[in-house]
Structure 1
Amino acid sequence: MGNVVKDEYHTDYVVGQDNVAKFGFDMHNIVFPFTAILILAFVIGTLIFPEGAGNLLAGAKNGAIALFDWGFLLSANLFVIFCLALIFMPVGKIRIGGVDAKPEFSLLSWFAMLFAAGMGIGLMFWAVAEPAAYYTDWFGTPLGVEPNTPEGANLAMGATMYHWGLHPWAIYAVVGLSLAFFTYNKGLPLTIRSAFFPILGDRVWGWPGNIIDIVAVLATIFGLATSLGFGAQQAASGLSFLFPETIEGGLNVQIAVIVGVTAIATISVLRGIHGGVKLLSNLNIFIAALLLLFVLFVGSTLSIFQWIWQTTASYATNMFSLSNPFGREDSTWFHGWTVFYWAWWISWSPFVGMFIARVSKGRTVRQFVTAVLIVPTVITVVWMSVFGGSGIDQIQNGIGALAAEGITDESLAMFQMLENLPLAAITSFIGIVLVLVFFVTSSDSGSLVIDSITSGGKIDAPKGQRVFWAVTEGAIAGVLLYIGGDQALSALQAGAVSVGLPFTFVLLAMCYSLFKGLNHERGLLIAEGKM
């Protein structure tokens, strides 16, 4: 018979046993009301005291970034090492959902959804603006390199990839794999607290777990509302850039964008994952691929292929220097970009990680980590090289607004680059459509995640409940933007980033818990002769 490994993950907890059914909702009786109260208090307080709230949260954000810069970088490095190790360890053969589990989605649809939820909109916003900013010393330069030089151009691309490559996806992979494993292999609810069962045991169903889930919901909804608000400003700026005589791009257009995105997201939520997020994600990837191919072959093709090589080489050779938090001479750039990004990715990890977990049943651990960590990094190298490299080429050759004026508005950088290529009006319009659809998929998938957490881990809560969260995200962004403007949105963003500090420790504990759980599962499978 061999050695018998006891299943230490048995629990008498039943999904939904702490829920209250009212008004057509199926709500966790602690997480839902406490989250709602805290969100309402934050919004009201920010609207009444926008400057004070902004200063308070900005101080918390800046303090976390300045005091824990070393912790953010070392933790992110650890997440990358941990994920790469999982690919080669024996536990990589474990299948999410059990040995007989089958994937629910095709490889292409699965990848499209995780990529769209993870950072699709960010790649539209920053692909041109970030390398151009580093190259021209808009807000410091990476490692103190001399701006407007060939060395500065190469490091600008490498540093951009550093922020959008292995490290952020490793953060997402830790959360996603933890939740997928404990939900589909151990039968625990699809909620953040489940990942801590090996550490806390049945205490995860009490206040420790409630606090973890409440923080996760706050980070998710604040992050999504912030992105929706700033994304509305980018879309409005793009429309104004494209139609300067008819659209001003002011507050009314921004609110209209939020209303439109929220309405489409609501319809998508009602259609479910297959008819909503999956469909829109596939559409997004198709349109994004067409835009990328257009810029690649209509722009400076030979130069772009050179950028792909140079970006990869710069990313690989400078990764260790960029990952070192000690003795930095580029503190302004380091804190304003790298540490901020790491805190932002960590604050987004509950949302993106849980959504990736939701759609990843049937994949092995090795497939999961490879798809979530390696594949997006390779595609991002190509994306950043095509768009960022084109932007730097235009600056170097004195072409267009980026060369003449530099970065005046980062939300316009993509459109300013496209303006110097053929069919600029068409490609700029496609860019705006991509921005909007990426926001719809983020709002839709975010609503599914928040709904799952606030319903105690259910994945089949009432549709009206999902609609409630989709509308709530849009309402928060719209109200703060309409009454408080940029100041209120910046306060919301600072609040989301501040959550990154405590959640860093949550992710570190999650690594230990996942490692323990995977080894336990491997022992069971060996004992049963299935591995």
Structure 2
Amino acid sequence: MGDVISDDYQTDYVAGQDNIEKFGFDIHNIVFPLTAILIVAFVVGTLIFPAGAKELLDSAKNGAIAVFDWGFLLSANLFVVFCLALIFMPVGKIRIGGLDAKPEFSLLSWFAMLFAAGMGTGLMFWSVAEPVAYYTDWYGTPLGVEPNTAEGARLAMGATMYHWGLHPWAIYAIVGLSLSFFAFNKGLPLTIRSAFFPILGDKVWGWPGNVIDTVSVLATIFGLATSLGFGAQQAASGISYLFDIEGGLNIQVGVIAGVTAVATLSVIRGIHGGVRILSNANMIMAGLLLLFVIFAGPTLAVFQWLWDTSVSYASNMFSLSNPFGREEDTTWFHGWTVFYWAWWISWSPFVGMFIARVSHGRTVREFVTAVLIIPTIITLFWMSAFGGGALNQVQNEIGVLGSEGLTEVSLAMFQMLENISLSGITSFIGITLVLTFFVTSSDSGSLVIDSITSGGKTDAPKAQRIFWAVTEGTIAGVLLFVGGEQALNALQAGALSVGLPFTLVLLVMTYSLFKGLHHERRLLIAEGKMV
């Protein structure tokens, strides 16, 4: 058998083969200019017609969500099942980079980077705001449960955990594992198109691959710019709340400028000297804040919420994952779950590719466990402490949340912390975490875009990294300053609209990964290196 199994992943293409080197840049001849033209056209059009752009893109987004809600949910379910299966399948023993590959980063640094890139900032705001919103019927309730009841509280926590648990991380894991496997085991360029080589062969280096990479860059930069713009508004609200100053447009643009400046310095230093250090610092601060909230807050209630949330998440997962017969909670289902799934999918090229970049030397089983299971467990503790603590305040009429409910998403975390000891210090740490998580997302995204637009190179010139870091901040700042919230909403709708076509891309990528892993296992068995 060993003589008949061959490696049919050979290609004459190398990373950067179609590149142009000029003005200190090393860019792919098609993807970079095409992406730049589309970005400029979109930004200019949005600034000239912010209301029209928002209306048009909202229609596209809402149409995709309303018509293909079943596609988003069933696809996400498939990704979870596939990833869980990989942990137990024989292919789980395959090592990314080959049998003798060694991890580039320590286990803690590796996990800190993938978690910070994946969803660090979102957890800071939504871990408090989301369960309170569901419990008080702020915008619908999950499965039509009665709001302001004990069952409503448990389901609010379970549904929040559902949105931030296995499903989003499975989406990231599919992309991350596909790219790392085909780049480090098969020697293909580290770019999205490489994951489709088992299906398309050398055609991936032509127009189909150019389309895949261009869409991936647009989804990444629009998603990052949107998050940076809205995040600046949220951070400015927190600064205003904490220091009693006006959190207007100047503060918001200042936040964007500051985050962009630090992110630029980080990408100049690279993954080891920039992203890794910031991610480690983030996780240390987040861990300390979590422990403080658990033990300075209602400790017994938090541990009770840990149990209730786990049970609610597990027992309601099938109902929440079922797209059919949801008439009782259509508003909630479309406005929250399907919206989240489209958002995670639109972010998957960025997060998945960054995870791939830092995962050399890990086995498939180790990769999936670290990307899927461990973040879900940590998120469960985080949600139980912050979300459960917030619901405890609402139910017992403590503080602003208890008296007024959810008034503004960006302030919910600070309003919750206000009723715990040392609220000034914890709120300051919270703002710092928000800003540093934005920095790690921005610099990680810049490195990813840089790799795609350079044809899969991981060592493109520093000037190119700086260009993309500054471009992200400039898009967010200009849209916010000139077009206001309408322009940012249009950009967000554009990023979400990419979620539908990219769902199909992920489904094909899943099959391609399955095919590639089994091909690799047969090769290793044939060579006597695996049983």
TM-score of the alignment, normalized to the shorter chain, above 0.5: yes
Partner of 2:349: 350
Query: How far off its partner does 1:3 sit?
Result: 3.9
In the alignment, structure 1 residue 192 sits paired with structure 2 residue 192: yes
Q: CA deviation at 1:342?
A: 0.2
Per the alignment, residue 260 of structure 1 pairs with: 258
Trace 1:210-249 onto structure 2 (pairs within 5 A). 210-244=210-244, 247-249=245-247
2:367 alignment partner in structure 1: 368
Corresponding position of 2:41: 41
Question: Quick check: 1:302 aligned with 2:322?
Answer: no
Structure 1 segment 124-523 matched on structure 2, within 5 A: 124-244=124-244, 247-328=245-326, 329-523=328-522
> Deviations for 1:371-400, whole angstroms, at most 9, x for unmatched residues?
000000000000000000000000000011
Displacement after TM superposition at 1:110 (Å) = 0.3
Give the C-alpha shift of residue 2 in structure 1. Answer: 3.5
Match of 1:40, SS?
helix
Separation (CA, whole Å) in 2 of partners of 1:502 and 1:156: 30
- Tell whether the 8 Å contact from 1:35 to 1:218 is kept in structure 2 after alignment: yes
Kept after mapping to 2: 8 A contact 1:179/1:194 = yes
Equivalent residue letter for 1:382: F
Give the drift of 1:77: 0.2
Q: How does 1:22-37 map to 2 (within 5 A)?
A: 22-37=22-37
For the residues of structure 2 that align with 1:340 and 1:283, how far apart are their CA atoms? Answer: 31
User: SS at 2:416's partner residue?
Assistant: helix
| Identity rate, percent | 81
Match of 2:61 in 1: 61
Deviation (angstroms), 1:242: 0.5
Gaps of 5+ in 1: none
- Which aligned segments of 4 or more residues in structure 1 are displaced greater than 4 angstroms? none
Q: Which amino acid aligns with 2:36?
A: A
Separation in structure 1 between the aligned mates of residue 157 and residue 128 of structure 2, nearest angstrom:
10
Could you tell me the TM-score, scaled by structure 1's length?
A: 0.99
Task: Give unpaired runs (5+ residues) of structure 2.
Answer: none
In structure 1, C-alpha distance between the alignment counterparts of 2:222 and 2:441, rounded to whole Å:
13
Hey, what's the Cα distance between the residues in 1 that align with 2:100 and 2:403? 60
- Stretch of structure 1 that moved more, 399-408 or 47-56: 399-408
Contact 1:80 1:170 in 2 (8 A): yes
Distance 1:466 1:482 in 2: 24
**Match in the other structure for 2:528:** 529
| Cα distance between partner residues in 1 of 2:15 and 2:323 | 43
Shift of 1:81: 0.4
Deviation at 1:243, TM superposition (A): 1.1
Tell me how far apart the structure 1 counterparts of residues 250 and 397 of structure 2 sit (CA, whole Å).
35
- Name the CA distance, whole Å, in 2 between partners of 1:368 and 1:438: 22
Which residue is equivalent to 2:21? 21
CA distance in 1, matches of 2:49, 2:232: 23
**CA separation in 2, counterparts of 1:137 and 1:15?**
51
C-alpha separation in 2, matches of 1:312 and 1:233: 32
**CA separation in 2, counterparts of 1:412 and 1:466?**
33
- 8 Å CA contact 1:277–1:441 kept in 2: the answer is yes
Question: Aligned partners of 1:48, 1:226: CA distance in 2, in Å?
Answer: 18
Alignment deviations for residues 105-134 of structure 1 (CA, whole Å, 9 cap, x no partner): 000000000000000001001010000000
Q: Is the 8 A contact 1:216 1:350 kept in 2?
A: yes
Q: 1:164-201 CA deviation, whole Å, 9 max, x = no partner?
A: 00000000000000000000000000000000000000
TM-score by length of 2: 0.99
- Separation of aligned partners in 2, 1:353 and 1:4: 34
- Give the Å deviation of 1:219: 0.1
Q: Which amino acid aligns with 2:306?
A: I
Alpha-carbon separation, structure 1, partners of 2:138 and 2:341: 20
Q: Could you say what secondary structure the match of 2:8 adopts?
A: coil
SS in structure 2 opposite 1:27? strand
Distance 2:188 2:292 in 1: 46
Deviations 1:122-157 (A, max 9, x none): 100101000000000000000000000000000000
| CA distance in structure 1 between the aligned counterparts of 2:344 and 2:246, rounded to whole angstroms | 32
Deviation track 1:335-372 (CA, whole Å, cap 9, x = no partner) reads: 00000000000000000000000000000000000000
C-alpha contact (below 8 Å) 1:4/1:524 kept by paired residues: no
Question: What's 1:106 paired with?
Answer: 106
Give, as a single letter, the amino acid of the residue that structure 1 aligns with 2:231: G
